[in-house]
Amino acid sequence: MGRLFDPSCRPFWGPRVSRRHAVYLSPLLAGCSAFGPRPELSRYTPPPGVPTAGVIYIANGAGDYRGLSENMSMLVARSGAPYEVETFVWSHGSRRVLADQMDHDNHLTEGGRLATEIAERSRCHPGQRVALVSHSSGSAVVLAAAERLPPDSLDRIVLLAPSVCKDYDLRPALRASRRGIDVFYSQWDLAVLGIGIGIVGTADRECRSAAGRYGFTPITNTPADCALYRRLHQYPWEPGAKWTGNYGGHYGSIEPEFLREYVLPRLVTP
């Protein structure tokens, strides 16, 4: 499989931004001025007669680029796992990257809409597992949804290169996810989550240090908080993942082989 949206796929080593690293920043800085055709909605449903064990909701990153949902739909279909994959469209529109990153009111509104959809689905299909997977600023939407859901109502949350603040309070979302939150981050995500976030700030508008670069800082004021944060599982990028096409850049964690090796088993394993 070719690599998606990350043409250089190499760490940024030097103190200056080279021409190739401008590829990372150009969609972030394009903002509301860039428009284009809306990609076809990505989803997967098990074949007729196969009982559905659950659903995986995908919140792509800013700009409605659907590499994550396309790759996850393909992988679930190939695996034969009895799960549906649903793309949750929350964006302002195709390639409206800056608006999607900076409009936190929209994250909260769309998170509420996702929470309502999950609650309705759970009412109609009791016993089915519900997982949430997000990339970059889609994490602000997924976390806003989880914060509105009852304790243990979700099976798992996976955050890939989240562009929310590293000090984000995960306690409400952790309560909602019985198998916890898995976070994949990379210190080498220097162009988008380093330089880009340094310019425009995190999706939740709280700081300029993204959890997708540093991981989340636990908030453990009480023993109950400590117990909750045992549900947080954080995985820094390591060079051993290069074989999957993930070289530590912003889009490396949505590579098909990386998702197949590191993410999909967490979603479909009983």
* Chain segment 156-172, per-residue pLDDT in tens: 999 999 999 999 999 99
Provide the percentage of residues in the chain whose pLDDT is more than 90.
82
User: Does the pLDDT at position 34 exceed 60?
Assistant: no
Instruction: Supply the DSSP symbol for 185.
Output: E
pLDDT, tens digit, for every residue of 59-70? Answer: 999 999 999 999
CA 104 to chain centre: 16
Residue 31 is predicted with a pLDDT of 41
Element (H, E) at 85: strand 83-87
CA 63 to chain centre: 13
Residue 41 is predicted with a pLDDT of 72
CATH class, range 22-268: alpha beta
Confidence of residue 270 (pLDDT cuts 50, 70, 90): confident
Residue 110 is predicted with a pLDDT of 98
User: Does the pLDDT at position 54 exceed 80?
Assistant: yes
Residue 39 is predicted with a pLDDT of 53
User: Does the pLDDT at position 181 exceed 90?
Assistant: yes
Side chain identity at residue 52, one-letter code: T
Break the chain into its structural domains and give their ranges. Answer: 22-268
User: Does the pLDDT at position 40 exceed 50?
Assistant: yes
pLDDT, tens digit, for every residue of 104-129? Answer: 999 999 999 999 999 999 999 999 99
Task: Give the chain's length.
Answer: 270
> Any residues with CB less than 8 A from the CB of 92 and at least 6 apart, and which?
32, 99, 100, 103, 106
Provide the percentage of residues in the chain whose pLDDT is more than 70.
85
Region 209-222: mean pLDDT is 98
Looking at per-residue pLDDT, the higher value among 25 and 51 belongs to 51
Tokens of 81: 């796992």
User: Does the pLDDT at position 25 exceed 70?
Assistant: no
Distance CA 192, CA 173 (A): 25
Distance CA 46, CA 241 (A): 30
Question: CB of 85 within 8 A of CB of 43?
Answer: yes
What is the rounded average pLDDT for all residues in the chain?
Answer: 88
Residue 76 is predicted with a pLDDT of 97
Give the least confident one: 26-30, 98-102, 161-165, 232-236. Answer: 26-30
